[in-house]
Amino acid sequence: MAYTLQNLSDIEEIKVLKHRYFRGIDTADMALLGGLFTEDVAVVYDGGTYRVSLAGREAMLEFIANSFHSGAAAMHVGLMPEIAITGDNSATGIWYLQDVFIDLEKDDHTFGTAIYTDTYRREGGAWKIASTHYDRVIEVLTKFSLTNGRVSVQRLATTGRKPDERTDISHLIHWDE
Amino acid sequence: MAYTLQNLSDIEEIKVLKHRYFRGIDTADMALLGGLFTEDVAVVYDGGTYRVSLAGREAMLEFIANSFHSGAAAMHVGLMPEIAITGDNSATGIWYLQDVFIDLEKDDHTFGTAIYTDTYRREGGAWKIASTHYDRVIEVLTKFSLTNGRVSVQRLATTGRKPDERTDISHLIHWDE
Amino acid sequence: MAYTLQNLSDIEEIKVLKHRYFRGIDTADMALLGGLFTEDVAVVYDGGTYRVSLAGREAMLEFIANSFHSGAAAMHVGLMPEIAITGDNSATGIWYLQDVFIDLEKDDHTFGTAIYTDTYRREGGAWKIASTHYDRVIEVLTKFSLTNGRVSVQRLATTGRKPDERTDISHLIHWDE
């Protein structure tokens, strides 16, 4: 079944929306991120050793601001979208996540992948993320010092929250161990 | 030369087709994969130490089911498509592959890239992969234990074929060494 | 604001243009690369320990031919485009770069990401890269030998410039240290 011009336009807008999300988190661009979610966004992330579960844009932004902090170096890329327009102002999306997260404060290095299943809603003419859930496909943990790497550029050191600016988000994360 | 609406619709459908392929292999989703190839699909993969050559959907599915087994953790992402519509129901595609393959049973870690050159055919209204060939650009081998990593999530441990479910596919693979 | 058919066609053409650029550099396909830039292309790359600054297609091609040399193994993938058509023959683009660069002659391994901000211009019916600038998000340096990896495929060993074919491009690169 062929896509209409409206479908293709919506799909391109939704791709750009999600691309901005990933660019926003890795650079802690909170102004950019502020416009990407619905007020009632629902979020669930199933990792190997954690489960994040939260509701609402305010909680989401607080979660991001504290996760992408000044001690981290992060790469999150959303790839291979499968977008379906389900109504005039609603859509679903599947994405493949590849991520590297280095927490220099904890000497942790995480490499992983996951599959996202999202829903999107158009509000006031702009597509927004209404719900987002990922489930890990692979996750590999190591101590960063054991990789023999040296971080020579770390954008979040400048843009991420410093220790005294951070707030407690532990109620949003359940750790298995 | 501008793309027509029909071209852009077909290109989006072909992208989704290939995206499903990669999502399917890394999760051993054989039901999803079953619908993605033409009956006469032709496959050639040129790696650093191997050459895979096979013909037909049945052989392809058997190859995948045994390669993405319960002892593996895999990431295969197809990026940067260059799709050309060559007829009402035919198309070609170039893709850039990035892959990580960890075989925990053999303690092997492979990181690589390759360039795919594909052909696609529309059958019964749905685009399918009619031929696919990749040629490696880089490939880096190591022992997984030497990376100091620990696999904390491994989807294929659940979805991949267990040792007693596997079949012999050695006739489809030529190893250089 | 919805995209028009012309917009979507232009966006797809610009994506393919940039995809060819990345495929071209990692394989040192100078014939492919020759057609991708405007005569007056402006280039700035801000890395962790270097700044590349150059002007003009000739300088760009010379820079690439010497950087992607026979001693290197390279992966550069451009992801998550945010393309905006700004006029009949002009556009802007944001891309997320992920790269691995192994210089076997220097035993250097670089893993990094960056955000590109590009401009494009249509000339003689074909979109070309008119300016391109990247700014690093993360960069991790190590000695390749410390990764315990072995390069089993290295396309540039065949296609890249051999030591006696290389020219001096040190005037295009400012090293911090």
User: What is the ipTM score, two decimals?
Assistant: 0.96
At residue C1 the predicted structure's pLDDT band, cuts being 50, 70 and 90, is confident
Cα–chain center distance at C6 = 27
Radius of gyration of chain B (CA): 17
Interchain contact, C82 vs A12, CB within 8 Å: no
Q: What is the pLDDT of residue C6?
A: 98
SS3 (DSSP) at C13: helix
Helix (H) or strand (E) segment spanning residue A10: helix A5-26
pLDDT for residue B50 is more than 90: no
Please state, as a whole number, how many other Cβ atoms lie within 10 Å of the Cβ of residue C60: 23
**Averaged pLDDT, B153-171:** 96
**Nearest chain B CA: its distance from C54 CA (Å):** 26
For an interface test with C, the pick among A29, A153, A158 (most C C-beta atoms closer than 10 Å) comes out as: A153
Chains contacting A (3+ CB pairs below 8 angstroms): B, C
- Using a 10 angstrom Cβ sphere, with 0-12 exposed, 13-18 middle and 19 or more buried, the burial of residue C95 is buried
Query: Which architecture characterizes domain B5-175 according to CATH?
Result: Roll (3.10)
Q: Which two tokens stand for residue A91?
A: 């859509």
pLDDT in tens, C85-114: 999 999 999 999 999 999 999 999 999 999
Which residues of A have a CB under 8 Å from any CB of B?
Answer: 1-3, 5, 8, 11, 47-49, 79-82, 94, 96, 98, 111-113, 115, 136-143, 146-147
Chain B residue numbers with beta carbons less than 8 Å from the beta carbon of A138 are 26, 73-75, 100, 102, 151, 153-155
**What pLDDT score does B73 carry?**
98
CB contact under 8 A, A113 and B19: no
DSSP for residue B7: H
Q: What is the mean pLDDT of chain A?
A: 96
- Percent helix, strand and coil across chain A, each to the nearest 5: 30, 50, 20
Residue C92 carries which side chain, given as an amino acid letter? T
What is the arithmetic mean of pLDDT over A61-90?
98
Residues of A in contact with C47 (CB under 8 A): 153
C133 backbone dihedrals φ, ψ, rounded to 5°: -140, 130
| Mean pLDDT of the region B69-91 | 98
**Residue appearing with tokens 């692979």:** A138
For C4: left if phi > 0, alpha if psi spans -120 to 50, otherwise beta; the answer is: beta
pLDDT of residue A61: 98
Average pLDDT over residues B73-98: 98
Q: Return d(Cα C57, Cα A174) in angstroms, integer.
A: 53
Give the pLDDT of residue C175: 86
The answer to whether residue B10 scores a pLDDT higher than 80 is yes
| Residue A176 reports pLDDT greater than 90 | no
Residue B175: pLDDT band (50, 70, 90) is confident
Q: Is C136 exposed, middle or buried (0-12, 13-18, 19+ CB in 10 A)?
A: buried
Task: Tell me the one-letter amino acid at B78.
Answer: G
- Among residues A68, A78, A77, A71, the alpha carbon closest in space to that of A27 is found at A68
Q: Within 13 Å, how many C-alpha atoms sit on residue C13's CB side? A: 24
- The chain A residue lying nearest B95, using CA atoms, is A80
**Distances in whole angstroms, Cα of residue B67 to Cα of each of A27, B73, B106, B168, C57:** 37, 11, 13, 10, 45
Chosen for mutation from C148, C158, C159 (greatest number of chain B CBs closer than 10 Å) is: C148
Give the pLDDT of residue B1: 72
pLDDT reported for residue B177: 59
The amino acid present at C68, given as its one-letter code, is F
Reported as a pLDDT band with limits 50, 70 and 90, residue A175 is confident
pLDDT digits (tens, 9 = 90+) for C2-55: 999 999 999 999 999 999 999 999 999 999 999 999 999 999 999 888 899 999
What contacts C123, CB < 8 A, 6 or more positions away?
C38, C89
Q: Chain B residues contacting C, CB < 8 Å?
A: 1-3, 5, 8, 11, 47-49, 79-82, 94, 96, 98, 111-113, 115, 136-143, 146-147
Q: Can you give A119-150 as a three-state secondary structure string? A: EEEEECCEEEEEEEEEEEEEEEEEEHHHHCCE
Helix and strand element counts for chain C (H, E): 4, 8
Supply the pLDDT for residue A47.
Answer: 87
Q: What is the pLDDT of residue B35?
A: 97
Q: Which residue among A78, A102, A150 sits closest to C80, beta carbon to beta carbon?
A: A78
pLDDT of A106 strictly over 90:
yes
Residue boundaries of the structural domains of chain A? 5-175
Structure tokens at B85: 């519509």
Averaged confidence pLDDT in chain B: 96
Mean pLDDT of the region A150-165: 97
User: Is A9's CB within 8 Å of C8's CB?
Assistant: yes
Report the gap between the CA of C115 and the closest CA in chain B (Å): 16
Nearest to A75 among C1, C82, C98 (CB): C98
Shortest CA distance to B21 belongs to which of B127, B168, B170?
B127
Cβ of A111 within 8 Å of Cβ of B149? The answer is yes
What percent of chain B clears pLDDT 90, i.e. is strictly above it? 95
Interval C118-162: pLDDT, tens: 999 999 999 999 999 999 999 999 999 999 999 999 999 999 999
Residue of chain B nearest C18, judged by CA positions: B80
How far CA A58 is from CA of A119, A120, A169, A172, C3, in Å, comes to 18, 18, 12, 12, 31
Helix (H, G, I), strand (E, B) or coil at B80: strand
Q: What is the tens place of the pLDDT at every residue in C63-87? A: 999 999 999 999 999 999 999 999 9
Over range C170-174, report the average pLDDT. 91
Is pLDDT of C176 > 80? no
Report pLDDT for A177: 58
Helix (H) or strand (E) holding B141: strand B126-143
C3 CB neighbours in chain A (<8 A) are: 8-9, 12-13
Q: What's residue B16's pLDDT?
A: 98
Tokens coding C61? 């091609």
- Option in C1, C82, C146 nearest A20 (CB): C82
**Residue C177 confidence (pLDDT) above 70:** no
On whether the CB atoms of residues B45 and B51 are closer than 8 A, the answer is: yes
> What is the structure's pLDDT at A49?
82
